Amino acid sequence: MDVYSFLHNDSETYTHVLVDANSRQCAVIDPVLDFDEKAGHTSTNSIDEVIDFVREHGWQTVYIIETHAHADHLSAAPHVKEALGGKLVIGKYITKVQKIFKAVFNFDTTFKADASQFDILTEEGTNLMLGDIIITAMHVPGHTPADMAYVAQSSSTDSGAKTAVFVGDTLFAPDVGTARCDFPGGDAATLYQSIHKLLALPDDTMMYLCHDYPCEGRKHCPTTTVKAQKMSNIHVKEGITESEFVQMRERRDATLSMPKLIIPAVQVNIDAGNLPAPEANGVRYLKVPLNHLT
């Protein structure tokens, strides 16, 4: 089992490629579309590097996995699917997020809030096979109601069993802390409980982060371990109680501004990364709800 991580610099997001060497199968996790918000221009330069990497190695893409509907970047899942194939995976509770934001953006009946835009819906305990790798879904709500982590473990004795977990936005590096919980449907107490599900994994489990926001003097890093989180995560290390965490998280969230791409990102990502259909003039348009989000 091998993992290759690609940093999208503008959003500080990691796209991971999980590979089973024996079967030459792979999964692409949290792919990012380039978006210039000032010009309203999309491009695929960054994700094309990932696509080229997969093609150069001759791997078969089986899954494109979204850990949740991201609020800080647009998904490149449709572009990856068109280029490499594979089935688009997300947690089944995406329907809750779709219903919330269908109302926010006042989408008409043509928008389906039933997750039918995705190919595979996972829930707690769902297993996906990637060659000799078992990928197990873990429901970790709190940041959003739909967040899923994915625990990957090789079942091949030849490769030596090792475990990795793709945590999405639930946890960041120990010196950065945890995800915010003030988006619609978020909840700090729920996030605390979800984090402790992750921290119950073996100490040597590799955690693959969706984002890294390094402090000055540290370079971006895509990984940490369960042990490192338990020892030194500034928000949830051992000894921090749920009530302490909730008080800290809610106080901190009250000071945060909205992510700069939340309005375009959410309306695209709840539709599986599909951009709005072109209008009569051939141009696609995004909606901006004025004086609505706080």
Domain holding 231: CATH number? 3.60.15.10
- Give the pLDDT of residue 215: 85
| Structural domain boundaries enclosing 218 | 2-259
> Is 290 part of a structural domain of the chain?
no
In this prediction, the residues of the chain whose per-residue pLDDT falls under 50 are 160
Number of domains in the chain: 1
220 within a domain of the structure (yes/no): yes
pLDDT of residue 231: 97
Rounded to two decimals, what is the model's pTM?
A: 0.94
Does residue 132 sit within a domain? yes
281 in a structural domain: no
Beta bridge partners of 178: 171
At 217 the pLDDT is 86
pLDDT tens per residue across span 198-224: 999 999 999 999 999 998 889 999 999
Q: What is the pLDDT, as a whole number, of residue 159?
A: 53
In a domain, 131, yes or no: yes
Is residue 265 domain-resident?
no
Is residue 271 a part of any domain in this protein? no
* Confidence at residue 29, expressed as pLDDT on a 0 to 100 scale: 98
